[in-house]
Each structure stands twice: as structure tokens, then as C-alpha cells.
Amino acid sequence: MNMTPNFAPKDIVATVKRLVEKGVKVVDEANCGKNWEQVIGSLDAFEFEFGRIISVNSHLNAVIFSEEFNAQYEKTLPLITNFYTQISSNKKLYQAYKNLLKTDLNQQQKYILSEAIKGFELSGVGLEGTEAKRFKAIKERLSILSNQFSKNALMATNEWKKTLNKADLAGFDEDNLAKIKTKNGYEINLQAPIYMDVMAFADNRDLREEVYRAYISRASEVGITSKKFDNKATMDEILALRLELAKILGFANYAQYSIANKMVDSEAEVLDFLQDLVQQSKPQAQQELAELQAFAAVELMPWDFRYYAEKLKAQKFGFKKADLTPYFPETQVLKGLFATIENLYQVNINAVDEPNYHPDVQVLDISKSGVLVGRIYLDAYSREGKRGGAWMADYQPLMGANKPVAFVVCNLNSPSADKPALFEFDEIVTLFHEFGHALHHLLTEVKYPSAAGIAGVPWDGVELPSQYMEFFCYEKQVVKALSKHWKTGKSLPDDLYEKLIASKNFQSALGMLRQCEFSLWDIKTHTQNTDTYAVLAQVHQTTALLPSIKDNRFLNTFGHIFSGGYAGGYFSYKWAEVLAADAYYYVQSNGGIGSQESADFASNILATGGSADFMQQYLNFRGKKPSTKALLKANGIDIKKQ
């Protein structure tokens, strides 16, 4: 049993080349296979070996970026893409899979095979001649462009810094100042935790505007950061190639292609879903903005919104963000998170001393009934050279005696010289979210790697376990377990907890519109052959209530779409949130944490992974289809008043 990745890989190009050559031979042998083990079993064994190499290389490139490693990493991308394109278009292997359907298989095997056959068809197995060659070239090029997009976004973010004195940072409390203290004063940058602090707390409006403009125009042809990292040409080429790829396969556009392996049936269904949410949310969002505008008593600009929102929230609910953070030091937050997971899913989590790639990283072993289930490498803090955002990546799946291993990556507040890392509540929600993904990967009971954990799960179902976990953050017993004032040792007082809960859905309708805007832009961008910023302007007309500036280029760093897996599927967040809200309220009304219903969620959703129809598994758990009413309720959007 091997659970420790090689975090100091050597000659990664040579390693990938060697494994690709081995993989070609494995595929050739599988083509002649007559049973499950000879075809699927042999491919799973190779994928287990190859997938770990690919995963750790990708992970290191994202979390400890260096130009030297990236140069080698980029050389591996066309090799990997070409190999998988060859597999997915291998007609003999496709036929071997179809032949297996005629053999004696169990229900899981039949489902896995049927989904794999559909995957072959969506990957161009039916293409011939120049079309097949062009499809392969597109896949190779897209892998290179995706990495280029990420690199440009990272470099543009890292490039901008500004040194200030204390007087420049009026509005910052001592905790905020401690995060940015240097020998020469105070240094702000565009890393997400620092950027958010400036937007929320800096009294200096000119400073907020400067930082906002730097942040929102990163990796573009305008703004403060270097133009050499401009991502627009990369984005345009990605979108053009996606459209061409989809048309080669017979789809009208990339959105159709993306939706073909999701639970929804069409772009029209997605648009109806999103437009309904916009219609339901907009009246309340307008009220929320009017309230903020009246409070601010200035013409609101984008760099004003979070600043005045923080002040309005503090006045309205009787507390400010800085009142909460001292109660949530990292050690206690993790202790509470682990206790919640242990009670929810009847597992144990223990930190272990294992080799890793950075001092920040914690290694966690998860066991159930005394038996090791899997491992998580938690990399929590923001730092230079680390890609922004938060994510879970699988290193290895469950296979035989080998347990699943996952990387959980966040960009949270880090410790300072004289105090521990103190997490904001939004950051705690992010932790719960990413651990939800990791548990989906680790708590699988499927013995076939291609359908274990998150593998084989439709993209609009992947976010269900993560968003489901977020709901538990707000339960009183959980918050008490998460909180312990870093100086006094006291848990969060009841009155402050009540204020936190009362404020949970502050400006939630505005937030709903914002997420619907992203989703509508994504589905329309991958439906219409139009400049993506023109599409955004079109969507803006129905979703945007806040002012925008002409130098807004947030799309140029929108990694989920241009370097992640959400193209044509960003709506999955909202759809999965419907499922998550529906699931949570059902579990909560039937005993909550530790109940039979919470165990049913684990067995029907987490344990089953991609080995059965996902919606049918949800119906098995819930007993009926989910409703958008649960989502609106979770966000405090009261449509009865409209």
C-alpha cells in the first residue's frame, strides 16, 4: 500500500514518455481482451500508475510554481493529451468495451461500461481521416492553452505589490495589519485574502480604487499590471477551438457537447433554470442594493460595494467581521471540522508525520472502524507562487489495497509572527466545501477506479457533497466546536452566534444574481460564436445591478472556465446547490448529524460515486426530486413578498 506521493520528481518529461510507451502496449493488449479483467482491469492498473504521476506534477505546478518546473511540465502536456486522445479514439478498444456488454457482468460493471462507451463517442472514436487528426491536434493545443492561461493569471497576480505606511491603511485593525507587516512598512498585494481586506476595510477610497483596478484588470491589455500576461488571445483561441471540436463531433456548439454528459438535457433547460433564479432573486436584490445605496450616501462604485456592505452589516447586525476572527484560530477550526466529519460519517481523522512538499502542508489519515480509509494533504495558506482559489484534486483512487489520496488546497489567512492563523468565517465555509469534495473521493466503496469517488460522477453532481457540507458550518453545535478565542480560550458567545446566523443571508439575492451572471455568461459564451465580452455585456443587462468599469477584465483570470473543468457547465454550482439544500433540510429534519439519513447520504452519494445513475441515487436517498424552493430558502430569498 503506497500513499505517499513523490514530491521531488526528476526528469518528468522522460517519465511521462516512458509511461506513455507502456500505456500504448497496455491498450494494445486490452484490445484483444475477452473479459473484464483483461480489458478494464489492465487499463485501471495502468491508469492508477500514470494518473498519480500526472496528478502530482499538476499539483506541484499549481502550489509551488517555478519557471523551471513549469517549462518541463508544459512539455508533458501534449504527450499526455495525445495519449488520452489516442485511447478515446481507439476503435479496437471501443469495440472491446462493446463486446464486454455481452459477457456476464454485475450491475455496476454494466453501468460503468455504458458510460465509458458514451465517453468514447464524445471523444471522437467515430472520426476518420483529417477530422480525427484535427480533433487530436485541438485536444493537444487546448491543454497547452489551459496551462498558459493559469500561468498568466498567476504571474499577473504575483507581479503587483505596494508598500504603505500605517496612516495609508486607516480602517485596518491590528489583526489585518499583522498580515501585511514587513520590515519596511506594510505591503499589500493581489492575493485574495489581502485584496478582500483592502476592499472591506480601507477607508482610503483612492487606495481601494487603485487596488480594485489592479485586481480586476489582471492578465489583460489594460490596467496597472503588465500587459505581457494578457490572456485575451489565449481565451479567444480556447473558445474557437472548443467550438471547432464540438462541431467535428456533430454538436451545434460547445455547450451542447458539455451538457451531453451531465444530468440536464439541454441548453434550454439550463437557461430556464438560471433565468428563473434571476427572476425570483432580482426584486430582493434591488431592495438590498437600494438599502446599501441609502446607507452609503455616495454614488457606489465597484470599489465601494464591499466597504459599505461591511459597515452596513456591522450596523444592521451589531457586529463586524473582526469580532469573529479571534474566535477561529486554525487549530480549533480544524479540530471542529474534523469532529463534525467524524460525527457525520462515523470516521476518525488523525494528523500523521509524512514527507510533503512545503512546511504549511498537513497530512491527515482517515479511518473507519479502525481501518484506514484514505489520506488528505491539506495545503491551507495563501502564498506567492501558489495558484489562487481553492480546490480538491485526487492523487490516487481506491484500488485493491491502495487507499484513495486527495490534495485539498485553499488560500486562507496564514499565521503571523505573534499569532496563529485566524480564519474568517467565509474561509471556514471554503474549508468545509473542499473537505466535502475530499470525502466524496475517500469514502467510496466502489472497487472499480474509473467509477470510484468523484470519477464518473456527472459534473452537475460533483458539487453536491461539497455544498452539502457547507450547511453544517452554521449549526450551533458545530460553530461551538469550531470556535475558541485565541487569547481567552472561550468559544463564540451565544449572542455573537445569533448575530452571525442573522447575517448569514445578508445581500444573498445580490450574490445569487452574481452567480447566475457567471453561469449565464458561460452557457451563452459556449452557445454563441460571439466575442465573450460582448456576451457578458448582453448578460449584464438582465443580471447586473451594480456599476461596472470599462477596464473590468475579470474573465481574463476566470480559471474555472479557461483552465478548469467548468466550461459550458458553470451552472453546475447552482444546480448542485439545489440538491445540497434539498438534501440538508431533509437530513436536518430527520435527526441531522449522525442520523440514519446522514448515513443514507453517505451510502447513496459518497460511497456509490460514478458507479450508478447519479440522479437515481439521489432519488433513492431523498425519495423525490429536489426543488429550487430549497435553494431559495437556503439563501433567505422570500418570493412570497414579491
Q: Is the pLDDT of residue 417 over 90?
A: no
Handedness of CA 578, 579, 582, 584 (dihedral sign): negative
Active site residue 434: yes
Tell me the per-residue pLDDT of 142-201, one tens digit each, with 9 for 90 and over.
999 999 999 999 999 999 999 999 999 999 988 889 889 888 899 999 998 899 999 999
Helix (H, G, I), strand (E, B) or coil at 333: helix
Tally Cβ neighbours within 10 Å of residue 605: 24
* Residue 505 pLDDT: 94
pLDDT at position 639, please?
Answer: 65
Strand pairing report for 371-381 and 405-412: parallel
pLDDT at 642: 44
Q: Is residue 257's pLDDT more than 90?
A: yes
- CA dist 50 and 386 (Å) reads 24
Give percent of the chain with pLDDT exceeding 90.
88
Q: Taking 80 as the threshold, does the pLDDT of residue 272 lie above it?
A: yes
CATH of region 326-502+572-641: 1.10.1370.40
Residue 225 has pLDDT above 90, yes or no: no
State the cell numbers at 517. Answer: 451572471
Active-site choice (115, 424, 427, 434): 434
Report whether pLDDT(121) > 60. yes
**d(C-alpha 316, C-alpha 5), whole Å:** 49
Residue that the C-alpha cell 463534525 belongs to = 340
**pLDDT band at residue 416 under the 50/70/90 scheme:** confident
List, by residue range, all CATH 1.10.1370.40 domains of the chain: 326-502+572-641
Cβ atoms of 5 and 56 within 8 Å: the answer is yes
Contact 121, 58 (CB under 8 A): no
Instruction: Report which of 277, 271, 297 is spatially closest to residue 520, judged by C-alpha positions.
Output: 271
How far, in Å, CA of 310 to CA of 624, rounded? 40
Residue 415 has pLDDT above 70, yes or no: yes
Q: What is the pLDDT of residue 79?
A: 95
**How far is the C-alpha of 33 from the C-alpha of 7, rounded, in Å?**
35
Question: Comparing 386-390, 504-508, 589-593, which segment has the lowest mean pLDDT?
Answer: 386-390
* pLDDT in the model for residue 33: 94
Q: What is the pLDDT of residues 428-463, one digit of tens each?
A: 999 999 999 999 999 999 999 999 999 999 888 899
Q: How many CA atoms lie within 13 A of 333 on its CB side?
A: 26
Q: In the Cβ-directed half-sphere of 633, how many Cα atoms lie within 13 Å?
A: 14
Instruction: Please tell me the number of Cα atoms within 13 Å of 359 on its side-chain side.
Output: 3
Mean pLDDT of 577-592: 95
State percent of the chain over pLDDT 70: 99
Tell me, what's the pLDDT at 178?
Answer: 87
CATH architecture observed for domain 12-126? Up-down Bundle (1.20)
**Burial (0-12, 13-18, 19+ Cβ within 10 Å), 34:** exposed
The pLDDT of residue 346 is 95
Average pLDDT score over the chain: 94
CB under 8 A, 24+ apart: contacts of 611-614: 611/108, 611/111, 611/112, 611/446, 611/448, 611/451, 611/452, 611/456, 612/107, 612/108, 612/111, 613/111, 614/263, 614/457, 614/458, 614/461
Q: What is the dihedral of CA 578, 580, 583, 588, to 10 degrees?
A: -120
Residue type, 140: E
**Mind listing the pLDDT tens digit for each residue in 275-326?**
999 999 999 999 999 999 999 999 999 999 999 999 999 999 999 888 999 9
Range(s) for CATH 1.20.1050.40 in the chain?
12-126
Average of pLDDT values for 583-587?
96
Write down the pLDDT at residue 223: 79
pLDDT at 548: 87
φ, ψ for residue 297 (rounded to 5)?
60, 25
Q: Tens of pLDDT along 547-564? A: 889 899 999 999 999 998
Which residues, 6 or more positions from 317, have their beta carbon under 8 angstroms from its beta carbon? 499, 502, 503, 506
This prediction has a pTM of 0.88
Mean pLDDT of 232-251: 97
Contact 566, 522 (CB under 8 A): yes
Q: What is the mean pLDDT of residues 469-484?
A: 97
Bridge partners (DSSP) listed for residue 368: 371
Q: What is the mean predicted confidence (pLDDT) over 524-534?
A: 95
E strand or H helix at 410 = strand 405-412
Q: What is the pLDDT of residue 640?
A: 60
Looking from the CA of 463 toward its CB, the CA atoms found within 13 Å total: 21
Which three cell numbers, joined as nine digits, stand for 345? Answer: 460519517
Q: What is the pLDDT of residue 251?
A: 97
Torsion angle (degrees, nearest 10) of CA 302, 303, 306, 307: -140
